Structure 1
Amino acid sequence: MPFFIPLGIPDFNGKKERDFFQFTYNIEDNDAIELLIQIRDGKNVIYEETISNVSKLTQGEHIWQWDGFDNNGILDTAKLTQAKSLNFYATGKDTDGNIDRSSTDFEANYDKVEWVDVKIDKTASRIDVTLRVNLKDGGEKGTDKECYELGKSRNAPIVKICPWDKIPEKEIKKYGKTPIMSRVKSFEILKEMALDGINTHWSRRYTNTFGTIISDKNWEIIVNAIQDENGMKTPEIEYITNGKPGRSRNWEFSRILYYNIGYLDFSDWYNIKSDWRWRNESFAVPIFQETSAHEIGHEILLAYGGHSYSKKHKGTSTLLQSENGGLKYPKDEIDLMKYYDEEYVADFNKVVASEKDVLSLLWLTKLELK
């Protein structure tokens, strides 16, 4: 069966895909003097074109191609895949005044994934991407929910033990902050933060990039991630404080996204005995949002470029996640999906998915035509 890719975005290896729907029509008996071709959903016209080229009005079989855009210059894959009755409809009039009509039904179904739609506005040079994800609640660690009492069974004084008790007193004095005892951000809040992070770092706006070039034309691409239980496989979100921070990940056997806040023991990260640090919300929020976009990105890269491209961070790490090293943060755009030598980026606004990776979202809306 033939396929269609919006704007003909190339596959991972650079092979350009077909960017048109192709239909045939047959003119019998007399030549036509008028021919109106329509793409319709039932009786609703999506696009129409009057054929004026005389060579296309002669007797015989002819080919007609459609780029997928409607009469308003909009290509909307959601509308095409959700249409109830797509049809190619032709109305012709011959030299004797006879009028003939013909209709060919067809379907357009997603071939690669079911969790992304694109809406392309040719006039505005803008592409809107709807990305459906299924974020789940992974609970919390280090809060008062983990407190317990000792001494009840031994008739001894009851002692309440809580996660923050293990924080060295000198560290609390050093930072001057009271440990977080109960979570201050619900799952709903963290979910919205994660969605905002995806939108921010996967969109290629004119305000944070130089745009995105497709066939010598500069486009602005806006991603809108939405919660959908039937969406992309995504991590659970877990709230962590007063303990070892979690390392977020998103692969087939383990999907978890950590929001690390407050007092955190980084000793395992740096192979030292004790390394308690205080993480402010002003840093916890942007690093969580950037991490959310990065981890969700692994599923996108996997669908587009395969396991190596995704798990090796586009060649900047091993499969076991060890950094290859040697890559410094650039002055302009910082690739969201690569590993760099520096631990944290100074300006999260510079972190954005690359042109190729964002355009992969368009490629993933590949349509199979029946």
Structure 2
Amino acid sequence: MLNGVAFEVFVNAVNLQDKSKTMDDVPLVYHANGYSGRSGNTGGSYKDNNLDDNIMNLIPDTGVVQQLSYNAGYIKNDWKNDKLDGWRYYDDIDNGSSPYAAISKFKETAAHEIGHEILQAYYGTTFSWQHKGSSYYLPQKYKTYKRRQNNY
């Protein structure tokens, strides 16, 4: 707002100089009333001389791994021994208080996955993929560890 007048600004940033410094596109996949979609690391555009950069560049970006999934409606999760066989209703209300609020869940997941790209750019592939040391680099499995007092 400037002198009581509201302005709206639209920006379309396009890096035409150096594509190696530009983040990859982020495919968005909408899932409704069926199996849940799994979001995956959107990264892969930065080169830190890690062997995985070469391997990832050989795999076409089809949106299977590198994607953001928005899950809404009746969604089937792959939960074992669940009394509702994994089915839950994800509503489109952004209240944040429900674990099944589709918009809140999507915001958190998108920030997490895009964060991988930022971490990769500044600290390298290994750091980005290890989730602050809470998972192994390859295979991507959780480490069992005692939570620290500061709960990162």
Give the TM-score of the pair, scaled to structure 1.
0.26
Deviation for aligned residue 1:321:
2.5
Deviation for aligned residue 1:328:
4.8
**Partner secondary structure for residue 144 of structure 2:** coil
Deviation for aligned residue 1:295:
0.7
Match of 1:232 in 2: 23
Match of 1:259 in 2: 70
**Structure 1's 286 and 325: CA in aligned 2 closer, same or farther, altered over 3 A?**
farther
Report matched runs for 1:1-370 at 5 Å. Answer: 228=13, 230=15, 231-250=22-41, 251-252=43-44, 253=56, 254-266=65-77, 268=78, 270-272=79-81, 274-282=85-93, 283-319=101-137, 320-326=139-145, 328=147, 335=152
Identity %: 37
**Structure 1's 323 and 275: CA in aligned 2 closer, same or farther, altered over 3 A?**
same
Q: For 2:75 and 2:148, locate their aligned partners in 1 and report how far apart those are by CA, in whole Å.
A: 26
1:308 touches 1:314 (CA, 8 Å); kept in 2?
no
Larger strand share, 1 or 2: 1
Deviation for aligned residue 1:304:
1.2
Letter in 2 for 1:235: V
1:234 touches 1:296 (CA, 8 Å); kept in 2?
no
Q: For 2:102 and 2:148, locate their aligned partners in 1 and report how far apart those are by CA, in whole Å.
A: 20
**Partner secondary structure for residue 289 of structure 1:** helix
Structure 2 residues not aligned, in runs of 5+: 1-10, 16-21, 45-55, 57-64, 94-100
Deviation for aligned residue 1:329:
8.9
1:234 touches 1:255 (CA, 8 Å); kept in 2?
no
Q: For 1:329 and 1:247, locate their aligned partners in 2 and report how far apart those are by CA, in whole Å.
A: 28
Q: For 2:37 and 2:66, locate their aligned partners in 1 and report how far apart those are by CA, in whole Å.
A: 12
Q: Deviation string for 1:177-211 (max 9, x for gaps)?
A: xxxxxxxxxxxxxxxxxxxxxxxxxxxxxxxxxxx
Q: For 2:146 and 2:115, locate their aligned partners in 1 and report how far apart those are by CA, in whole Å.
A: 20
**Structure 1's 229 and 291: CA in aligned 2 closer, same or farther, altered over 3 A?**
farther
Letter in 1 for 2:74: Y
Deviation for aligned residue 1:322:
1.5
Deviation for aligned residue 1:275:
1.7
**Structure 1's 233 and 243: CA in aligned 2 closer, same or farther, altered over 3 A?**
same
Q: For 1:311 and 1:296, locate their aligned partners in 2 and report how far apart those are by CA, in whole Å.
A: 12
Deviation for aligned residue 1:330:
6.7
**Partner secondary structure for residue 243 of structure 1:** strand
Larger Rg: 1
Deviation for aligned residue 1:300:
0.9
**Structure 1's 300 and 240: CA in aligned 2 closer, same or farther, altered over 3 A?**
same
Match of 1:207 in 2: none
**Structure 1's 244 and 229: CA in aligned 2 closer, same or farther, altered over 3 A?**
farther
Deviation for aligned residue 1:229:
5.0
Deviation for aligned residue 1:235:
2.2
Q: For 2:90 and 2:24, locate their aligned partners in 1 and report how far apart those are by CA, in whole Å.
A: 29
Q: For 1:326 and 1:260, locate their aligned partners in 2 and report how far apart those are by CA, in whole Å.
A: 30
Q: For 1:311 and 1:298, locate their aligned partners in 2 and report how far apart those are by CA, in whole Å.
A: 7
1:259 touches 1:284 (CA, 8 Å); kept in 2?
yes
**Partner secondary structure for residue 258 of structure 1:** strand
Q: For 1:263 and 1:327, locate their aligned partners in 2 and report how far apart those are by CA, in whole Å.
A: 35
Match of 1:351 in 2: none
Deviation for aligned residue 1:281:
2.0
**Structure 1's 329 and 247: CA in aligned 2 closer, same or farther, altered over 3 A?**
farther
**Partner secondary structure for residue 326 of structure 1:** coil
Q: For 1:330 and 1:278, locate their aligned partners in 2 and report how far apart those are by CA, in whole Å.
A: 34
**Partner secondary structure for residue 242 of structure 1:** strand
Q: For 1:330 and 1:244, locate their aligned partners in 2 and report how far apart those are by CA, in whole Å.
A: 36
